[in-house]
């Protein structure tokens, strides 16, 4: 069985989240004492918890005009367009933030 290696940044944040939990401090206080932007801490904590569980409509854009891109229609007519090589975790965070799902 092949084990997928985590990036150094992901490992650093996993350790940071664990240290906060072990500290008994609130996230805000822990971040203040460790000079961490708490919105960044929350984003990483969500990212490490796993992918968002939400359904969104997605369709391929006309291949001639935007080859290899996907358009995601969100509520209220908003849309996201992503191309090859996008970060799935980041996209899930953006969809959650825009849709207010988290």
Could you give the CA distance from residue 20 to residue 11 in angstroms, rounded to a whole number? 14
Average pLDDT on 16-22 reads 93
pTM of the model: 0.47
Q: What DSSP assignment string belongs to 26-47? A: -HHHHHHHTT--HHHHHHHHHH
Predicted confidence band of residue 2 (pLDDT cuts 50, 70, 90): very low
Condensed to tens digits (0 to 9), the pLDDT of residues 29-38 reads: 999 999 999 8
């Amino acid at each position: 069985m092949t084990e997928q290696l985590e990036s150094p940044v992901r490992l650093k944040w996993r350790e940071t989240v664990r240290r906060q939990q072990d500290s008994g401090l609130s996230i805000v206080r822990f971040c203040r004492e460790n000079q961490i932007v708490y919105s960044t801490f929350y984003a990483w904590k969500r990212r490490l918890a796993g992918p968002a569980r939400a359904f969104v409509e997605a369709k391929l854009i006309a291949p001639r005009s935007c080859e290899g891109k996907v358009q995601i229609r969100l509520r209220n007519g908003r849309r996201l367009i992503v191309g090859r090589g996008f970060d799935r975790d980041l996209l899930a965070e953006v969809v959650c933030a825009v849709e207010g799902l988290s």
